[in-house]
Chains A and B, each alone.
Chain A
Amino acid sequence: MIENRPLLNLISHLTLCLGVLVVAFPIWIAFVASTHAPEALNSGTVPLWPGDRFLLNYAMALGLETGQKTLNVNLISMLGNSLVMALGITIGKLLISMLAAYAIVFFRFRFRMLSFWLIFITLMLPVEVRIMPTFEVVADLGMLNSYSGLILPLIASATATFLFRQFFLTVPHELIEAARMDGAGPIRFFIDILLPLSRTNLAALFVIMFIYGWNQYLWPLLITTDEHYYTVVMSIQRMLSVGDAEVAWHLVMPSTLMAMLPPVLVVILMQRLFIKGLVETEK
């Protein structure tokens, strides 16, 4: 239905603009703050327009040699840790949930529905709820302060399993039978047919899971005590706990913005596939 009512259009646009403003304003402030000298930020009033220290602040936040006092953490290595963790979680989740959904949808075995419901129920148990037992298990396995400790406990995903299941259920039965006729066994069918057909779903889930992995806060905070394994999201909090000294806002803000960059890039680069994967099934 196409309507043309000028007043309605105006009001909707105003509402949208207001929404954008509410979301974008804090990010703007963060950006502005990242371009000022520390004195300007600690004086009590927040400037609204960018200053002249953009390059200097960012270089200092990254720990590049500038002759000035820098942060108490190593941002580049933390960005690397975050990337390893986010990619590990994403790829692991996709692999495991896809295989789990494949088993549940295409094979008849005992306790099939039971296993589906077990997986489904874990949807209701986020990491925070089961954090003590999970910590215990990871500690007993000696995985504190390691990448596997960061990645493995978060790798199982009921959401992705469920989404893949829903997608696999829409794959026409004849396609499987045609593949059987063509001499494709279960593994061949998975690789040659199901995987390419799931391309857009994979992309959509990749985006969601990457952001989920990147934004993990509580879990890395709990299991890492070695600076080598700190992730960027948890360390922003550490930058603020400096005791009696003044918070280096001119360095915290550049770090925050740079921590936001990878998820934003992932979303922008995969946007087209992402939307396709959520709205349309190619058949």
Chain B
Amino acid sequence: MMSNLSLANIGKTYPNGHQAIHSLNLDVEPGELIVLVGPSGCGKSSLLRMIAGLETITDGELHIGEQQVNRLEPAQRDIAMVFQNYALYPHMSVFDNMAYGLRNRRTPKAQIRQQVESTAEMLQLEQLLERKPRQLSGGQRQRVAMGRAIVRQPKVFLFDEPLSNLDAKLRGQMRIEIKRLQRRLNTTTVYVTHDQTEAMTLADRLVVMNAGRAEQIGSPLDVYHRPQTPFVAGFIGSSSMNFITGRLDHHQLQLGELRIPLKQKVDFNGEVIVGLRPEHLHRGTDYPHRIELDVSLLEQLGADTLVHGKVPGLDQELIVRLKGAAPCEPGTRLSLGFHCDELHLFCANSQQRIN
């Protein structure tokens, strides 16, 4: 069931003039898992619903396989969607929930039974086929919702924040299960989430969205290591990246009192935003650049410790992620080192990456 999905200059303008999606281009390879990620209100759900056919597309062209589907009804697009609150039919048994779409397509009875049963087996739902949704736990409902999508063998799966109603532990399990299923079925998938961990772990490619635009499209590691804008840099990675404003003059970076000669050639002079991830500040001596941190607060996570503090001469608070238990107390001074390759430089005006 491999099929590609392509979005060409897709846009959405509401009748009141509000532009929800700005001319977005994306080619999804057959079997690829694309994650749309961004804060709430960034347009990721709107985009998914446009692909699904639940929202009209006002600009551009949407292709599924060879077919242009802009004006097709959801049921005619050969897609299946898993909703955030599952949207199971409350009065139907699990079997009927899964069979409903097939029945409406006039699939022969024997084939429906066979397809539903094999899907149920794949999702370990065989014992639950006669139950009603209200007799199921959250995780089971989630699996039924996925079963309803899988059983139709569509060209494209769409997931709209499917795990956000589950507790943290179950969410982790289901995330792995979704990834495995998608690999096994090899079906093209678009997955929407606001959770960057979910996005990083699931995606073949990420689309980071902000205010109706795709800020960056790339593999999770690519987005993590080379974010194109401060927004992407701050959104991907937990805890959030530290940003410091500074100046760049002839390959010399000026941060408050600190002067850092850059190894790479960067043809830019002027105001810059410097990003440095909390996990890229280290204790120890084998780092070429050093800063002093006045510790104000510690967050003990067990495996790691988040240290909040200020660097003399800089305005912004910094967060540092250190391995293991607390190596210091609030009120003390900590000496930390970093590599200048791990600095992310953005132009303060255009908000674009410059190194």
Task: Tell me the A residues contacting B by CB distance below 8 Å.
Answer: 172, 174-175, 177-184, 188, 192-193, 196-197, 199, 282-283
Whether B83 is near chain A, meaning CB under 8 Å from some CB there, is: yes
List the one stretch of B87-95, B112-120, B226-234 in contact with chain A.
B87-95
Closest Cβ neighbor of B89 among chain A residues: A193
Whether B81 is near chain A, meaning CB under 8 Å from some CB there, is: yes
List the one stretch of B22-30, B100-108, B249-257, B334-342 in contact with chain A.
B100-108
Is the beta-carbon distance between A180 and B100 smaller than 8 angstroms? Answer: no
Is the beta-carbon distance between B89 and A177 smaller than 8 angstroms? Answer: no
A-B contact pairs, 20 of them (CB 8 A): A172-B85, A174-B84, A174-B85, A174-B86, A177-B52, A177-B74, A177-B81, A178-B81, A178-B87, A180-B53, A180-B75, A181-B74, A181-B80, A182-B100, A182-B101, A188-B104, A192-B89, A192-B100, A196-B91, A282-B134
Residues of B within 8 A of A177 (CB): 52, 54, 74, 81, 83, 87
Is the beta-carbon distance between B87 and A175 smaller than 8 angstroms? Answer: yes
Residues of B within 8 A of A196 (CB): 91
Residues of B within 8 A of A172 (CB): 85, 87
Whether B177 is near chain A, meaning CB under 8 Å from some CB there, is: no
Is the beta-carbon distance between B104 and A184 smaller than 8 angstroms? Answer: yes
Contact with B91, one of A178, A184, A197 (Cβ below 8 angstroms)? A197
Instruction: List 5 additional A-B contacts (Cβ < 8 Å) besides A180-B73, A282-B90.
Output: A174-B86, A180-B54, A181-B75, A199-B91, A283-B90
Is the beta-carbon distance between B105 and A183 smaller than 8 angstroms? Answer: yes
Residues of B within 8 A of A192 (CB): 89, 100
Report how far A193 CA is from B74 CA in the complex, Å: 18
Whether B79 is near chain A, meaning CB under 8 Å from some CB there, is: yes
Residues of B within 8 A of A184 (CB): 75, 100, 104
The B interface is mostly helix, strand or loop, or mixed, namely loop
Report how far A6 CA is from B85 CA in the complex, Å: 48
Q: Give the number of residue pairs across the A-B interface with Cβ within 8 Å.
A: 60
Is the beta-carbon distance between B83 and A182 smaller than 8 angstroms? Answer: no
Residues of A within 8 A of B134 (CB): 282
The A interface is mostly helix, strand or loop, or mixed, namely helix
Is the beta-carbon distance between B73 and A178 smaller than 8 angstroms? Answer: no
Residues of A within 8 A of B87 (CB): 172, 174-175, 177-178
Is the beta-carbon distance between B84 and A181 smaller than 8 angstroms? Answer: no
Min CB distance A203 to B, Å, is 14
Closest Cβ neighbor of B88 among chain A residues: A178
Report how far A51 CA is from B52 CA in the complex, Å: 75
Residues of A within 8 A of B80 (CB): 181
Report how far A174 CA is from B87 CA in the complex, Å: 6
Is the beta-carbon distance between B104 and A182 smaller than 8 angstroms? Answer: yes
Report how far A197 CA is from B91 CA in the complex, Å: 7
Is the beta-carbon distance between A182 and B75 smaller than 8 angstroms? Answer: yes
Residues of B within 8 A of A197 (CB): 90-91
Min CB distance A180 to B, Å, is 5
Min CB distance B313 to A, Å, is 53
Is the beta-carbon distance between A178 and B83 smaller than 8 angstroms? Answer: yes
Closest Cβ neighbor of A199 among chain B residues: B91
A183 touching B84 in the complex, CB below 8 Å, given contacts A193-B89, A197-B90: no
Min CB distance B100 to A, Å, is 5
Residues of A within 8 A of B88 (CB): 178
Residues of B within 8 A of A188 (CB): 104
Contact with B83, one of A174, A183, A193 (Cβ below 8 angstroms)? A174
Report how far A277 CA is from B75 CA in the complex, Å: 33
Min CB distance B48 to A, Å, is 11
Residues of B within 8 A of A181 (CB): 52, 74-75, 79-81, 101
Min CB distance B73 to A, Å, is 7
A174, A179, A181: residue with the most chain B Cβ atoms closer than 10 Å: A181
Report how far A178 CA is from B41 CA in the complex, Å: 22
Min CB distance B328 to A, Å, is 50
Closest Cβ neighbor of B91 among chain A residues: A196
Report how far A238 CA is from B86 CA in the complex, Å: 60
Min CB distance B138 to A, Å, is 14
Report how far A182 CA is from B86 CA in the complex, Å: 14
Report how far A178 CA is from B88 CA in the complex, Å: 8
Residues of B within 8 A of A282 (CB): 90-91, 134
Report how far A181 CA is from B52 CA in the complex, Å: 8
Closest Cβ neighbor of B101 among chain A residues: A182
Contact with B75, one of A183, A193, A199, A283 (Cβ below 8 angstroms)? A183
Residues of B within 8 A of A199 (CB): 91
Is the beta-carbon distance between B91 and A183 smaller than 8 angstroms? Answer: no
Min CB distance B176 to A, Å, is 25
Min CB distance A40 to B, Å, is 56
Report how far A244 CA is from B80 CA in the complex, Å: 80
Report how far A283 CA is from B86 CA in the complex, Å: 12
